[in-house]
Structure 1
């Protein structure tokens, strides 16, 4: 049957719901992967669409057998495509080797053998000819779980109702990214970033040495658009990424004064990073950044400037 194209509902970044209403919320593990709306027409095929609506089915041939999992029952599902590391955690860096291969099916097939994809399912939007989006979360989840979609390359992880603090602590202890809180009575809002879904990430912080900067654009050309960050490793300053968000205009101007005063003709990083247009500084400024995770190469993912640390020197960081 013909199935509608549906934009996924999006979560709003935030904090755990207050304790008095905790029991009105469901909590799911937050996975770090590629969002996918899954169309199963009931003819044995499967079509995967990204958040933008692009057809990414050919990039994931290992998920093609899902098309026959429901027989001739048509469905539209919502989920996240992930690649697991050796500890069973979703690893976005591993998944990146699978993304963007929809136009090269031969390469996608080769990569599927070395980096298998897994589809985490967490909602059902259509089942047969019936739209389920107006139904509350609890009824949609019951319908999803009744499908029994568990296999080598896909699963329907459990959720818990209430106990948000305990769930958040459990994901922190397990080294997971965080939680998605979903209001039990909420309908599915296609394409909407809704307060009925809240994503709560565990925030990691690091003390870093500033080794350079990139100018901003236009009227900000004399101010930092991004800082080049480093950590001391084996007596050398290693580049661990760049940060370009998190500061106020006042902080940006204060940082500009410090950077100009510390200007240097020499790159302080070993090895020098390939960052065209970088301006180097003496590695004497220490700051604190928040970030989501690190890549296997040690680079910070999604860093955000938190504050300058005038109480620390690079020698304090080892």
Structure 2
């Protein structure tokens, strides 16, 4: 049995699509909302999954254990991939995955959840194969080696990468409701643990014009200034809480928001249901801001929100 190297996953840098003239130099993969995993296959039928931090998460996903026996002729390998939980339409749903991710200390409970909430492993790179490091090989050759393993099964697959046609790839992910794309240079080597410009991630950003119904004070040097804004959306004549945002503004914008919140302060909560937020302060729901976010949870809360700008041109009734 071959001793496998411990390899940290290579990371992508946020950015934009490569220039059209360089499109042919890149491959495009769908970006999925899941848990990054490095998969170690020692060649004896065993499997070990590590999280991005290096923690052993094998017991969390027992349905992936048969992958060890499925590897081509028992070849020792270290693979890169993403663990996802799929919704009814076959799209990654991070909310579903969250109920699985925290079960590292409860393998019995993890096993019980397999039938009702299974995961799927999406493989997209190979860093070590048959006793040989592939780290210095270009991406195109590593992808060919990965696809040659034929790893497609009930709970794992090797999604195709598109060579060129980046704009079409990004548009297709947006149309399908996927998170975005990762652009990878065909000649890029694998750099463990490094956030590289050879891999560029692009998210399909959604926006909402949200109504500010409250805020939470910052701490330390931000005392007296907003640490987060509590957001809402008008539905059936009521203000429904949709989450809070604490990033996206600079010091000048934070100071302006603090003054506007002070003027609009009220004692009563304006939301139809009081948000479960400690130390909340309430304001008249008349400030509107444009907020960017990745997706919404089933409860209607914004995931990964970021403040973009105030919308003084919009009245609360126009927000949504």
Same fold? TM cut 0.5: yes
Quote the offset at 1:161 in angstroms: 0.9
Instruction: Quote the residue 2:305 is aligned against.
Output: 303
Instruction: Quote the residue 1:59 is aligned against.
Output: 60
Instruction: Quote the residue 1:198 is aligned against.
Output: 200
Q: 1:85 aligns with which of 84, 87, 99?
A: 87
Instruction: Quote the residue 1:161 is aligned against.
Output: 163
Aligned pairs for 1:1-318 within 5 A: 1-70=2-71, 71-317=73-319
Q: Distance in 2 between matches of 1:11 and 1:207?
A: 29
SS of corresponding position for 1:219: helix
CA contact (8 A) 1:98 1:112 kept: no
CA contact (8 A) 1:121 1:157 kept: yes
Name structure 1 gaps, 5 residues minimum.
none
Runs of 4+ in 1 over 6 A off after TM superposition: none
Q: Distance in 2 between matches of 1:156 and 1:162?
A: 18
Q: Distance in 2 between matches of 1:219 and 1:8?
A: 35
Q: Distance in 2 between matches of 1:86 and 1:291?
A: 22
SS of corresponding position for 2:308: strand
CA contact (8 A) 1:38 1:47 kept: yes
SS of corresponding position for 1:176: coil
Q: Distance in 1 between matches of 2:7 and 2:221?
A: 41
Quote the offset at 1:315 in angstroms: 1.8
For each residue in 1:212-235, what CA deviation from the matched residue of structure 2 results, as whole angstroms up to 9, or x when unmatched? 001111121111010000001111
CA contact (8 A) 2:288 2:319 kept: no
CA contact (8 A) 1:229 1:242 kept: yes
CA contact (8 A) 2:10 2:194 kept: yes
Q: Distance in 1 between matches of 2:317 and 2:37?
A: 46
Quote the offset at 1:312 in angstroms: 1.0
Task: Let me know the Cα RMSD of the aligned residues.
Answer: 0.8
Q: Distance in 1 between matches of 2:58 and 2:152?
A: 19
CA contact (8 A) 1:290 1:306 kept: yes
Q: How many residues align?
A: 318
Q: Distance in 2 between matches of 1:267 and 1:203?
A: 30
Q: Distance in 2 between matches of 1:228 and 1:214?
A: 8
Give the structure-1-normalised TM-score: 0.99
Name structure 2 gaps, 5 residues minimum.
none
Q: Distance in 1 between matches of 2:32 and 2:317?
A: 37
